[in-house]
Amino acid sequence: MTLSRRAHDDIVSHARETAPAECCGLLIGSSGAIVEAVRTRNIAEDPNRFEIQPADHIHARRVARLRGLEVLGFYHSHPHSPATPSATDLAEASYPEHLYLIVSPIAEPAEVRLYHLEAGGFKELPWQLD
């Protein structure tokens, strides 16, 4: 899987801007390449959780489709912990076969890890900057 430098930098910036609250967004691309990250509003009342604003999600899907792209998955931040899925992340992940990127801005450089949601849990995927 490739992650464009622009998408990577946008995700890290979003995480740092919203800390200490979690940020969230969508991963846009096609056939093994994440080409951009779309920021969404986090409507969770708890700053240690995230919930993507449904209207933002629908709008991003429509725009991606019009451009011949698709929503490959989602990203969110762990502003106080490593970029590994929590029990809550697994319990609330509702899009099988999608990608889930987690960024932890507490390190320098930020820790960015990519996962694929499969039956039974998250599987970490290798990725490289494009």
- CATH classification of the domain holding 19: 3.40.140.10
pLDDT at residue 111 greater than cutoff 90: yes
Is residue 51 pLDDT above 90, yes or no?
Answer: yes
Tell me: the pLDDT tens digits for 65-87? 999 999 999 999 999 999 999 99
Distances (CA, A) of 35 to 11, 43, 83: 12, 25, 21
C-alpha 43 chain-centroid distance? 15
**Annotated catalytic residue, options 22, 36, 45, 124:** 22
Q: Which structural domain, as residue segments, surrounds residue 84? A: 2-106
94, 114, 33, 115: which is closest to 68 by C-alpha? 33
Mean local confidence (pLDDT), 109-120 = 92
Q: Is 22 a catalytic residue?
A: yes
* Count of structural domains, the chain: 1
Distance CA 18, CA 86 (A): 19
Q: Which secondary-structure segment (H or E) carries 17?
A: helix 5-18
Could you read off the pLDDT of 86-104 as tens digits, one per residue? 999 999 998 988 999 999 9
Does residue 114 belong to any structural domain of this protein?
A: no
Higher pLDDT, 120 or 100: 100
